Amino acid sequence: MDIQIQWFPGHMAKAKRQVQEALKLVDVAIELLDARIPISSGNPMIDKILGNKPRLIVLNKSDLADTTTTKLWQKQLNKSNVKAVAVDTLKGEGLKEIPKAAAELTAELMAKLAAKGRRPRAIRCMVLGIPNVGKSSFINRLVGRKATKTGDLPGVTKGQQWIKIGGSLELLDTPGILWPKFEDPEVGFRLAVTGAIKEQVFDIYEVSSKLLKWLVENNPDIIKNRYKLDTIDFEIPLMIKEIGAKRGMLVSGGVVDELKVAHLILKEFREGTLGRYTLDLPKELSNILNSCT
C-alpha cells in the first residue's frame, strides 16, 4: 500500500534552518515521538541536525502503546547524551520526569558554568517533532499555569519567545514543522493508522482493511468480542461486512456502509478501544520474534 504525502524540499529546508538557528540558543532538544511508532514518527534529518546536542526523547501517547514494549524502547534509546521518557500528555502522566531528565543531560554543562562563576539558570529547551505527534498538547501541558513568558532575547527570531516553566526550565516556543521523507510504504501505513496523516490523502478502506488484518493476526479475541462476531474470518472484506451488519451500519437496501465501518475501526484503534499496541518494535523484541519464525 502506497501512501503519498506532499513533501516540499523548500519548506523542509526552511524548517531545517529555523531549527539549526534555534539550536544555538538551547541546552537540550526535546524530540517528540509517538510511542506506538517510535521509528515511523521520527525524522532521520533530526539526527543530522542535532549532532551531539543533548536530546530528550519523549515517547508520547504511551497510554495507547504496549507498556512492556515502551520500556524496551526506553532501554534501547537511552545513551550518554540521550534520555527517553514515556509520557501521556492528555492525562499529564510522565511530565514530572521531563525536568529531571533535562537536568541529568545538562549536569556537566551546568557544572562548567558554575566553575566559571556563572549564576545558576534555567535549562533552555526546544521541542521538535513531526506534525500531529502531539507537540502542541505537550507544550501546553508542560507549560501549564506556572509558565511565565520571559520576552524576546537577543538572537531569537521575532515571534519566538522563551517561556519559563517553574524555575527549572525555559522553553523556546518555535513552531518548526519537519516531515519525514519516507520510501517504505509500511511507514506510511503506520503514520496513517495512528492519525499522523490527514485522512484526505489516503484510502481509508484500504488502510482500515490492512489494520484489521493485522489485528486479527495479533489479537483475534478482542476483535471477535468487541464486534460480537460469531467466528473470525480471515477474508477481511467479509469481516468488514459482518461488523457493519452487527453494528447496523447500513445504507438504503440494507447494504453495509463499508466506508463507515472502516472509519469505525480506525477510530477505535486510535482511541485504544481495541487494545494497546506498538507497531514499531525495538531490536531486542524484533530479534526474539525473528528467532521464533
Element (H, E) at 128: strand 123-128
Task: Please tell me whether residues 39 and 130 are part of one structural domain.
Answer: yes
Q: How many domains does the chain have?
A: 2
Task: Please tell me whether residues 228 and 168 are part of one structural domain.
Answer: no
Higher-confidence position of 193 and 198: 193
- What whole-number distance in Å separates Cα of residue 3 and Cα of residue 182? 10
Strands 123-128 and 82-86: unpaired
Instruction: Provide the 8-state DSSP code for 97.
Output: H
Per the structure block, which three cell numbers stand in for 244? 457493519
Phi and psi at 28, nearest 5°, equal -135, 135
Domain boundary among 153, 173, 193: 173
Average pLDDT, the chain: 86
Q: Annotated binding site, which residues? A: 60-63, 132-137, 176
Task: Please tell me whether residues 30 and 167 are part of one structural domain.
Answer: yes
Task: Please tell me whether residues 231 and 101 are part of one structural domain.
Answer: no
Higher-confidence position of 256 and 151: 256
* Residue 117: domain span: 9-173
The domain that holds 261 is classified in CATH as: 1.10.1580.10
Q: 36-50, 78-92, 218-232, 236-250 — which is least confidently predicted?
A: 36-50
Instruction: Read off the pLDDT band of 70 (50, 70, 90).
Output: very high
Structural domain includes residue 133: yes
What is the arithmetic mean of pLDDT over 131-154? 70
Q: Annotated binding site for GTP, which residues? A: 60-63, 132-137, 176
Structural domain includes residue 110: yes
The domain that holds 161 is classified in CATH as: 3.40.50.300
CB 54 within 8 A of CB 28: yes
Q: Which of 240, 139, 224, 204 is nearest to 3 (CA)?
A: 204
Task: Please tell me whether residues 140 and 232 are part of one structural domain.
Answer: no
